[in-house]
Structure 1
């Protein structure tokens, strides 16, 4: 609910940045923190908030980019990419975890979330800012 309020006030780009930051911090805690049930609950609550906010932001940001004529193609493209990565990601992660350990799995996850933050922060402007100026 809190991230929905943030999205209404300042846009889904900010929700994306907040959510992926939470997701990244939770992954860092998962990799580096000692085993503890309390910490595990906190980490998985943070992972849930981060991934949930990410899904909300991505589902809605695709609607805000461009005009309505390209909307079906944008939705199809985003969903296709999401499904492909959802199919391939667990296979790669399972292979790494089975043959090496879990640390490379989480390290790759951290790498990809940090890359997503860098790309979103440096190359993507809030779609609503464009409409506010026109």
Structure 2
């Protein structure tokens, strides 16, 4: 029996791993909730209807953008997004996309913190886009 014995090193390693795992899960839940408050997820049709009266921003890295992007989009890579947020107009809707939507949602959270209120993210990202594209 373990009565009277001190917990082993493996017990403490397991506890630390469980705490780290719980922190990661809680962090993902917080990001999910914040992103849902920051932006509306829109499908291709809604994105197409509104994109001509909005700022369309591709948050993928430059090489991915150059390989192909939504026609009319400009590139502000996620890695540089904080630096260039001042170049985005607050008086116009912002439509974000990338390969999926995780990074675009993180950018939406940043925009929301800066006072933007019309933020939209393309559901499925560039991979699911069926509209006009520009390919190099």
- TM-score, shorter chain, exceeding 0.5: no
Q: Which has the larger radius of gyration?
A: 2
Give TM class, smaller chain: under 0.3
Greater relative CO, 1 or 2 (CA 8 Å, sep 6+): 1
Comparing both structures, which one devotes a greater share of its residues to strand? 2
